[in-house]
Amino acid sequence: MRWSLYSVSNDTGKIYYGQTQDIEERWKQHNRKKEGVVKELLDEGKCELKILENFDTYEEARLTEALAIEMLPCVNKRSELLDVVIDKKEYGKLYRGYRDEVFNKKGKCKFCGVVMIDRNLKRHYGRCGILTTK
């Protein structure tokens, strides 16, 4: 059975990353929980589940999940909690195409219209929003 890296995002823009072999069962588990990060996302608004990539091995899925948590804005706890050691340079060589597509996705500032890497927008909004509202 293959492993899937997935994301759960809600209307507020918060994102959670996870990996599983059975995406339908995992989604049911998230919905049944009475507490936790995904439960908070579900309580805040409509959520969307997306499968980001499929893997042949648990190790590949776990490593990619840890890298996503480490490099992207998300509500997950730190990847150190997954007991995964990330050699970002080596990983980048192996998954450069995937990283460019997912991790370096472009976004546009809602205040000034400048285009930049999505993961930098939140930090940019802090500066740009302050500059444009004064």
Q: What is the mean pLDDT of residues 51-62?
A: 90
Q: What is the mean pLDDT of residues 108-119?
A: 83
Q: What is the pLDDT of residue 26?
A: 92
Whether 80 has a pLDDT exceeding 60, the answer reads no
Q: What is the pLDDT of residue 97?
A: 56
Q: Distance of CA 35 to CAs 7, 10, 12, 58, Å?
A: 18, 16, 18, 26
What dotted CATH number matches 105-134? 3.30.160
Q: What is the pLDDT of residue 51?
A: 93
Compute the distance between CA of residue 5 and CA of residue 16 in angstroms, rounded to an integer.
11
Q: Distance of CA 118 to CAs 27, 29, 54, 102, 106, Å?
A: 26, 30, 23, 10, 5
Q: What is the pLDDT of residue 44?
A: 86
Compute the distance between CA of residue 29 and CA of residue 1 in angstroms, rounded to an integer.
19
Whether 133 has a pLDDT exceeding 50, the answer reads no
> CA angle at residue 60 from 59 to 63, to 5 degrees?
80
Segments making up each domain of the chain, as ranges: 3-103, 105-134
Q: What is the pLDDT of residues 3-27, one digit of tens each?
A: 999 999 988 888 999 999 999 999 9
Q: What is the mean pLDDT of residues 107-120?
A: 82
Whether 29 has a pLDDT exceeding 50, the answer reads yes
Q: What is the mean pLDDT of residues 92-103?
A: 58
